[in-house]
């Protein structure tokens, strides 16, 4: 029986050589995404973030953070000093359904009102604090404080926002109120926030990775390789960098992963809300893993290799096998007990062999996800090492996302495989604490530090010029 099952699962197995091949394809896509003339048609978008440094430990001060990514948004007051990033206070604010499809002005007026109430309640009125703004919708970032909304997702469809700078819209809404003000604004992608929140604890953290409902990664790229950004020339010998938001979930949208897509992946894509888009993400992330397992269970039941060939209404209904079930089934101590309960709740009658096969299916699907993530991460760490002409790279990855955090074996398998794929890299992993809150504050804190250093440098250059003039006189 198990041999027959294994044959059905062979399509998910990815040996080391195949993963090396996938990593090589992604490397080409990275170059395409960074290229001046090729980025428009690249599947992996490689978006510039205009974050040009990671924390160095000297950042300090009080910051506001605004995290908008769904039907609720958070406002936070964060204090940064040499020892810690502390959330002094945070508040959740709801966005009414009608406001999600109303005008942009209504939405940003509501955000400005909630932010105003928070500033008032924290006795921060009169202070002009810098703000980190995590806005989790597809945007084209032009500068650290200028980000154009490409399109709304997640049920939002506010008029007058697509194609506009969301920082400008927020500032205009605050000015309409006139009862408080904010300082400089830094736009933050949640992956970048993950890297920056971890970078405060470990200054060798130059990569951020999320494996949750979706998947994405960012890393510090040499600025001279970011050909698509105009007006940021790098002088010979300068080591300037910029954080790149890879948007690696789109890897394979041009057919680059066709040879490893299974019939189950194709069905998940076909029935998704965005067919043909985010191919890589659909093989890896929490939004889709449960559905892949469900489709395999249906197939093996129809082939009479599971549950005596008897399906149930629940099993035949898309979305009923949740991704969290995979983690519960694969738990070392309570796995069998959990599996029995999950299958019973789905209206399925199981025996000991069924329980073993269901666990095997879950293990196969989650293992493929971890190995694909490892191949993508290895592409980044190998790239950084080669960029810097190093024989050996020591670096840290800041990670977040429920799949990485909650699955019992995922992180271990990913780490083991990435070390095999990048043997000349010594990689440490840190789980992020509140990337969209603390991380947003850190992006703002670093931008403030760099601006201050730049001003001090300009002042000192000005003094030198004055001294030269005096000598000439």
Task: Report, as residue numbers or ranges, the catalytic residues.
Answer: 154, 190
Indicate the SS3 state at residue 242.
Answer: strand
Cα–Cα distances (Å) from 151 to 46, 48, 122, 244, in that order, read 18, 18, 34, 20
**Cα 297 to the chain's mean position, in Å?**
30
Calculate helix-pair angle for 2-9, 289-302, nearest 10 degrees.
130
Q: Tell me which residue of 243, 107, 228 sits closest to 162, measured CA to CA.
A: 107
Within 8 A by CB and 6+ apart from 176, the residues are 109, 112
Please state, in angstroms and rounded to a whole number, the distance separating the CA atoms of residues 168 and 374: 38
Secondary structure element (H or E) that encloses residue 178, with its range: none
**Assigned token pair, 51:** 């974050």
Please state, in angstroms and rounded to a whole number, the distance separating the CA atoms of residues 144 and 471: 40
Q: What angle do CA 75, 78, 80 make, to 5 degrees?
A: 160
Q: Which residues of 414-452 are buried (b: 16+ CB within 10 A; e: fewer)?
A: bbebbeebbeebebebbebbbbbbbbbbbbbbbbbbeee
- CB of 62 within 8 A of CB of 79? yes
Q: What angle do CA 387, 388, 389 make, to 5 degrees?
A: 95
Please state, in angstroms and rounded to a whole number, the distance separating the CA atoms of residues 399 and 207: 9
Indicate the SS3 state at residue 52.
Answer: coil
Please state, in angstroms and rounded to a whole number, the distance separating the CA atoms of residues 226 and 218: 14
- In sign, the C-alpha dihedral spanning 306, 307, 310, 316 is negative
- CB of 241 within 8 A of CB of 52? yes
């Amino acid at each position: 029986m198990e041999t027959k099952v294994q044959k059905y699962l062979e399509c998910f197995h990815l040996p080391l050589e195949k993963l090396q091949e996938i990593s090589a394809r992604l490397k080409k896509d990275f170059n395409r995404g960074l290229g001046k003339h090729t980025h428009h048609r690249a599947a992996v978008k490689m978006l510039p973030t205009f974050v040009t440094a990671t924390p160095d430990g000297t950042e300090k001060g009080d910051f506001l953070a605004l995290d908008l990514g769904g039907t609720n948004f958070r406002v936070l007051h964060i204090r940064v000093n040499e020892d810690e990033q502390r959330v002094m206070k945070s508040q959740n604010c709801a966005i009414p359904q009608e406001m999600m499809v109303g005008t942009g002005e209504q939405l940003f007026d509501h955000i400005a009102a909630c932010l105003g109430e928070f500033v008032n309640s924290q006795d921060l009125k009169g202070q002009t604090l810098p703000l980190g703004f995590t806005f989790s919708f597809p945007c084209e970032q032009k500068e650290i404080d200028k980000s154009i909304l490409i399109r709304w997702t997640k049920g939002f469809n506010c008029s007058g926002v697509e194609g506009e700078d969301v920082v400008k819209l927020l500032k205009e809404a605050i000015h309409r109120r006139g009862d408080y003000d904010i300082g400089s604004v830094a736009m933050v992608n949640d992956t970048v926030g993950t890297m920056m929140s971890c970078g405060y604890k470990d200054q060798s953290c130059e990569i951020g990775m999320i494996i949750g409902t979706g998947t994405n990664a960012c890393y510090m790229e040499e600025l001279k390789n970011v050909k698509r950004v105009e007006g940021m020339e790098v002088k010979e010998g300068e080591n300037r960098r910029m954080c790149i938001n890879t948007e690696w979930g789109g890897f394979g949208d041009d057919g680059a992963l066709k040879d490893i897509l299974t019939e189950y992946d194709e069905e998940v894509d076909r029935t998704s809300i965005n067919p043909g888009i985010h191919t890589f993400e659909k093989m890896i992330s929490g939004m889709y893993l449960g559905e892949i397992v469900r489709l395999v269970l249906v197939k093996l039941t129809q082939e009479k290799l599971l549950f005596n060939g008897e399906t149930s209404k629940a099993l035949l209904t898309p979305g009923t096998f949740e991704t969290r079930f995979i983690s519960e089934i694969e738990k070392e101590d309570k796995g069998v007990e959990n599996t029995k309960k999950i299958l019973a709740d789905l209206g399925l009658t199981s025996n000991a062999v069924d329980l073993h096969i269901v666990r095997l299916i879950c293990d196969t699907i989650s293992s493929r996800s971890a190995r694909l993530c490892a191949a993508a991460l290895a592409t980044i760490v190998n790239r950084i090492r080669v960029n810097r002409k190093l024989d050996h790279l020591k670096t840290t990855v800041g990670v977040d996302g429920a799949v990485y955090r909650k699955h019992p074996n995922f992180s271990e398998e990913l780490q083991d495989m990435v070390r095999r794929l990048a043997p000349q890299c010594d990689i440490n992993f840190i789980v992020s604490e509140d990337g969209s809150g603390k991380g947003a504050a850190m992006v703002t804190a670093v931008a403030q530090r760099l601006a201050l250093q730049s001003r001090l440098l300009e002042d000192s250059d000005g003094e030198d010029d004055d001294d030269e003039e005096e000598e000439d006189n």
